[in-house]
């Protein structure tokens, strides 16, 4: 199982043990920050799908974008300042800032997906009101608590779920790309109507993960 986990995360992350989580004797396939990004993205998509069932295709309001952008900025700042040696950071901070970025990207990607996937996308905005933003921020906090303290209790299921989150993130983003093709654009009434597009997005995901791993292996062989 560890071999599979490592293979999926190899081309996506440095996979340093001291910056990664462990559960059930297995290392999570990506580091703490990347775990936050992928888990945050998937949970964010699910939360938005529940909160806004009208399939909004409009980006969040400007003030919400600033708030979401701040989450991405804090993650980048944490990574950059620790990388150049200005300060030290922890896996707890890496996870928290990664989740903030993952939730932010979810709020930007979902309206794009709605616009190209659904035959009749909603015309509203994602996170268009204060209460919705409040629920979304609460979801980030709950996801942090669940990932930090609850998920390790799942044992080997924890790293497997992170692997699923990685694949799901790629599939959702690739589905946006696939649905830009005329034969798939705005064709679905329900998710099952887009099964061919989803399969293509899955195939593209497999290619991207494999290609990134091959590229990293080639670069490392050159260094060696």
Sequence-separated (6 or more) residues with CB below 8 Å from residue 100? 36, 40, 71, 72, 74, 75, 140
Sign of CA dihedral 162, 14, 92, 127: negative
Q: How confident is the model at residue 222 (pLDDT cuts 50, 70, 90)?
A: confident
Q: Does residue 223 register a pLDDT over 80?
A: no
Q: Does residue 171 register a pLDDT over 80?
A: yes
> For residue 37, is it left (φ>0), alpha (ψ between -120 and 50) or beta?
alpha
Instruction: Fill in the DSSP letter of residue 151.
Output: G
Run of H or E residues at 61: none
Q: Does residue 224 register a pLDDT over 70?
A: no
Say how far residue 40 (Cα) sits from the centre of its chain: 5
What pLDDT was estimated at residue 169? 98
Q: How confident is the model at residue 192 (pLDDT cuts 50, 70, 90)?
A: very high
Q: Does residue 28 register a pLDDT over 70?
A: yes
Sequence-separated (6 or more) residues with CB below 8 Å from residue 7? 213
Residue with tokens 């790293």: 159
């Amino acid at each position: 199982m560890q071999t599979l986990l490592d293979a999926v995360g190899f081309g996506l992350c440095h996979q340093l043990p001291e910056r990664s989580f462990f559960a059930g004797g297995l290392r999570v396939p990506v580091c703490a920050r990347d775990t936050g990004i992928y888990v945050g993205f998937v949970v964010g998509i699910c939360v938005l799908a529940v909160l806004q069932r009208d399939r909004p295709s409009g980006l969040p309001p400007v003030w919400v974008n600033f708030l979401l952008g701040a989450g991405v900025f804090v993650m980048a700042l944490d990574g950059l300042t620790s990388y150049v040696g200005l300060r030290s950071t922890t896996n707890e901070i890496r996870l928290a800032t990664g989740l903030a970025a993952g939730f932010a990207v979810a709020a930007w990607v979902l309206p794009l997906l709605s616009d190209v996937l659904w035959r009749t996308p909603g015309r509203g905005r994602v996170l268009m009101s204060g209460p919705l933003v409040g629920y979304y921020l609460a979801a980030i906090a709950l996801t942090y608590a669940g990932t930090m303290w609850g998920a390790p209790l799942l044992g080997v299921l924890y790293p497997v779920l992170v692997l699923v989150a990685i694949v799901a993130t790629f599939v959702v983003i690739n589905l946006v790309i696939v649905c830009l093709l005329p034969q798939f654009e705005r064709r679905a009434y329900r998710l099952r109507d887009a099964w061919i597009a989803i399969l293509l997005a899955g195939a593209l995901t497999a290619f991207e993960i494999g290609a990134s791993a091959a590229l990293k292996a080639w670069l490392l062989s050159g260094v060696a």
